[in-house]
């Protein structure tokens, strides 16, 4: 008997969050292009209930003044460009004013930033690359609605205030591929590479691996990982090789915090004459455009980055319109595995 199609099925096939799919199917507002994509997929899969005759329109919202604030320069351009573009397009289409600003602690104080925000008369802030505990605390104390795209590690700062967090579903994705690689290839020696104190996403990716190993009763300790601080040069093959030589055992699979680190690990293994994927597997994250052109190409996890940007704007607008909300929401955008050469056997 054929299993009924669910909202989860549609969301996974499109790489969207279940919340977004549910809104579209239940007559609530989502961006027109996204709504059409969801409705088309629902028809294709013969979803049980879809009101195709309903007229969808965005509820009237007075133009808002939104500040897109970066806590530091954006290094991972391939990841952020589609997100920022979708925020710009959404604000333009819906007649919101968008201001962009990068905070430079070397030439200004936070008080200067606060004065600048006040002069803009901003209704709310979308914060990206903002992971410093003190910076986040001061930002929240401005008492403006905020939506963070990713956040500081959960144990470094309390999650409470007039803000929401939008991020990718990292624990689930890494948990799944770790168990899969163990089941398919019998791999037991995993190594996480990246600073888990950098941001919530990196922390969740590490937790995903650790939880999977615990479920499968595979012993593991932090001595088996490379968890150096951000100041460590993760792009240097010499630095990575030095850390690899300190490990108790040579890993059979590297779970990397992002694709940049995954590429560096692959380059290092090549200098050590360790073949990827024949002798060792490598997994990245974020599915940046370059990950498919690396040699070897990197297995990674990607989300609909434009949908992530739209989710952030919509979450912020909702919080601006409903100042009575006193709880913080965490909104996860679904990620999908993109298998490439680095894990092929």
For residue 165, what are the β-bridge partners?
148, 330
Residue with tokens 């990607």: 302
Q: What is the pLDDT of residues 109-159, one digit of tens each?
A: 999 999 999 999 999 999 999 999 899 999 999 999 999 999 998 766 666
Query: Per-residue confidence at 1, pLDDT binned at 50, 70, 90?
Result: very low
pTM: 0.80
% of residues, the chain, pLDDT over 70: 93
Domain ranges of the chain: 1-60, 65-168+304-336, 170-302+338-343
Q: 1-60 and 170-302+338-343: same fold?
A: no
Identify the architecture of domain 170-302+338-343 in CATH.
Answer: 3-Layer(aba) Sandwich (3.40)
- What is the spatial distance between Cα 269 and Cα 66, in angstroms, rounded to a whole number? 45
Q: What is the pLDDT of residues 35-52, one digit of tens each?
A: 778 887 887 777 765 544
Q: What is the pLDDT of residues 246-269, one digit of tens each?
A: 998 999 999 999 999 999 999 999
Which of 207, 171, 208, 169 is CA-nearest to residue 331?
A: 169
Options 3.40.50.1390, 3.40.50.11260, 3.40.50.2300, 3.40.50.150; which CATH number does 65-168+304-336 get? Answer: 3.40.50.2300
CATH of domain 1-60: 1.10.260.40
């Amino acid at each position: 008997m054929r299993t009924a199609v669910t909202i989860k099925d549609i969301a996974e096939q499109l790489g969207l969050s279940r919340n977004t799919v549910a809104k579209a199917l239940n007559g609530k507002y989502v961006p027109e292009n996204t709504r059409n994509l969801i409705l088309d997929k629902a028809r294709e899969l013969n979803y049980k209930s879809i009101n195709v005759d309903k007229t969808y329109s965005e509820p009237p919202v007075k133009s808002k003044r939104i500040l897109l604030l970066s806590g530091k320069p954006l290094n991972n351009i391939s990841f952020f460009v589609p997100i920022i573009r979708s925020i710009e397009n959404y604000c333009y289409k819906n007649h919101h004013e968008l201001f962009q600003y990068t905070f430079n602690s070397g030439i200004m104080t936070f008080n200067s930033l606060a004065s600048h925000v006040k002069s803009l008369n901003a209704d709310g802030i979308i914060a990206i690359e903002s992971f410093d505990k003190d910076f986040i605390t001061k930002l929240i104390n401005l008492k403006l609605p905020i939506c963070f795209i990713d956040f500081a590690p959960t144990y470094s700062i309390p999650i409470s205030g007039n803000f929401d967090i939008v991020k990718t579903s990292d624990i689930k994705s890494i948990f799944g591929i770790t168990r899969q690689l163990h089941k398919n290839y019998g791999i037991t020696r995993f190594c996480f590479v990246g600073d888990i104190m950098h941001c919530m996403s990196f922390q969740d990716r590490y937790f995903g691996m650790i939880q999977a190993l615990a479920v499968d009763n595979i012993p593991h300790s932090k001595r088996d990982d490379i968890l150096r601080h951000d100041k460590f040069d993760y792009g240097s093959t010499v630095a990575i090789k030095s850390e690899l030589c300190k490990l108790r055992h040579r890993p059979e699979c590297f779970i990397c915090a992002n694709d940049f680190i995954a590429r560096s690990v692959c380059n290092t293994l090549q200098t050590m004459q360790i073949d990827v994927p024949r002798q060792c597997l490598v997994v990245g994250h974020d599915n940046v455009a370059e990950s498919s052109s690396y040699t070897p190409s990197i297995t990674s996890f990607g989300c609909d980055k434009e949908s992530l940007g739209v989710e952030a704007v919509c979450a912020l607008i909702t919080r601006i319109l409903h100042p009575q909300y006193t709880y913080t929401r965490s909104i996860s955008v679904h990620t999908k595995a993109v298998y490439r050469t680095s894990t092929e056997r």
